[in-house]
Structure 1
């Protein structure tokens, strides 16, 4: 039987990859590089999009 994937709301700006580690190029004493963690500004680092109500929807 085929398995159905869940319908998840993925952020359209980051495509679900909400956080990126960017190297600054500055080395630490142990030889590793200093990195910055940057979150997607659209989803605030969650990777999911909020549900949007259609334009013609009526609120009761």
Structure 2
């Protein structure tokens, strides 16, 4: 089955999976695990980045 084309460039660091849930090993009183949500530093949790020609170099 053909996949729809992506209109936005995907982040190179996280491949579009911008947020990860990491378990700490500790459990809540109800038995569920404590998790931390961590966002990709490069795209700040969006999963997309700007193309290189959009970025502007500042300075000399």
What's the TM-score bracket when you normalise by the shorter of the two chains?
0.7 to 0.9
Structure 2 vs 1, CA of residues 4 and 23 (structure 1 numbering), >3 Å: closer, same or farther? Answer: closer
Unaligned runs of 5+ in 1: 55-60
**C-alpha distance in structure 2 between counterparts of 1:13 and 1:49, whole Å:** 10
1:53 positional shift? 1.4
Larger Rg: 1
Q: TM-score w.r.t. structure 2 length?
A: 0.77
Structure 1 segments of 4 or more deviating over 4 A? Answer: none
RMSD across aligned positions (CA): 2.1
Structure 2 vs 1, CA of residues 3 and 19 (structure 1 numbering), >3 Å: closer, same or farther? Answer: closer
1:3 positional shift? 7.4
Q: Work out the number of aligned pairs and report it.
A: 53
